[in-house]
């Protein structure tokens, strides 16, 4: 799950993207002890209420990535009338599993306590993640040990390692999943959690993957999709031909003439239009 080119690619997308956000609040602190903050992108709704809030958890193999890289994604979703909130979380070696999942949980509690003060939705709320960020978000949702002060209209997972990753012998990941205990085991993955009352926390899920993804294999969405179905969460899946790990998230942009239908299908799903399972 390397991310060598993700940072440079994201900078290019940010440079090319057409900014449709009406207002951006940057570095809003939500965890002072660990210096964690969030960026808030308010959609340009031309004096109309926003349609809801999308919380996006970015990836980076739990070693890299930052919220500033994903302004292009906020532009791509904001043009449809959705506010986008992108929180940070601790990375290895400053944190190891399960601390980065706890950071997501801490942010969700902050959001529940502060959404109204920042004019963000508590009713039409969507949780979206890419790669390691999709893992963090899914693990937070499915592990009942984390408090759930919010409920979500949908979870949208892009190339998430939900299963078939642990145990690992890869020296890049062993310390991340063993430093705080013997967690290098399959039950540290979302698809192996109890998922108590999951259908009351999230109504629907959209799991997307690229067929050309060599970093996180597409079979992850089959196992996690079945898990969610068993928990009475309505699931739709899509595997895109000729799309790799980075392209799946970079497609959610607002760059003229190059935006992929991935973005439009995410919006169609959010807005409850039909999306064929494939």
Q: How much is the average pLDDT of 123-147? A: 98
Whether 205 shows a pLDDT value over 90: the answer reads yes
C-alpha closest to that of 42 among 121, 112, 111: 121
Contact 228, 201 (CB under 8 A): no
Please give the structure tokens belonging to residue 191.
């698809």
> What pLDDT shows up at residue 20?
63
| DSSP class per residue in 86-124 | EE----TTT--TTHHHHHHHHHHHHHHHHTGGGT--SSS
C-alpha closest to that of 210 among 242, 163, 235: 242
Residue 235 is classified by DSSP as E
Radius of gyration of the chain (CA): 17
First to last CA, the chain: 24
pLDDT digits (tens, 9 = 90+) for 86-119: 999 999 999 999 999 999 999 999 999 999 999 9
Whether 194 shows a pLDDT value over 80: the answer reads yes
pTM summary value: 0.93
Please give the structure tokens belonging to residue 53.
């809030």
Please state, in angstroms and as integers, the Cα–Cα distance from residue 18 to each residue in 9, 54, 77, following that order. 16, 19, 12
Q: How much is the average pLDDT of 251-273? A: 84
> What pLDDT shows up at residue 182?
93
Contact 116, 150 (CB under 8 A): no
């Amino acid at each position: 799950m390397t991310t060598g080119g993700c940072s440079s690619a994201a900078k290019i997308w940010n440079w090319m993207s057409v900014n449709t956000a009406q207002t951006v609040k940057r570095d809003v602190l939500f965890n002072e002890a660990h210096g964690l903050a969030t960026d808030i992108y308010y959609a340009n709704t031309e004096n109309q209420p926003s349609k809801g809030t999308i919380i996006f958890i970015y990836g980076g193999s739990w070693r890299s990535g930052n919220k500033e890289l994903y302004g292009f994604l906020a532009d791509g979703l904001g043009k449809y009338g959705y506010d986008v909130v992108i929180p940070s979380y601790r990375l290895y070696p400053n944190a190891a599993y399960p601390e980065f999942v706890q950071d997501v949980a801490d942010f969700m509690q902050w959001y529940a306590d502060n959404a109204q003060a920042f004019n963000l939705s508590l009713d039409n709320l969507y949780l979206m993640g890419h790669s390691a960020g999709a893992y963090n978000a899914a693990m937070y949702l499915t592990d009942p040990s984390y408090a759930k002060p919010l409920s979500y209209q949908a979870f949208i997972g892009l190339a998430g390692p939900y299963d078939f990753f642990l145990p690992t012998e890869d020296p890049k990941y062993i310390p991340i999943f063993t430093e705080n205990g013997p967690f290098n085991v399959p039950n540290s993955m979302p698809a192996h959690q109890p998922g108590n009352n999951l259908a009351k926390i999230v109504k629907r899920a959209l799991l997307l993957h690229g067929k050309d993804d060599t970093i996180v294999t597409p079979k992850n969405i089959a196992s996690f999709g079945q898990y969610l179905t068993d928990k009475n969460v309505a699931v739709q899946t899509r595997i895109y031909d000729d799309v790799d790990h980075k392209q799946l998230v970079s497609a959610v942009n607002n760059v003229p003439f190059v935006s992929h239908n991935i973005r439009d299908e995410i919006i169609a799903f959010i807005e409850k239009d039909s999306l064929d399972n494939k």
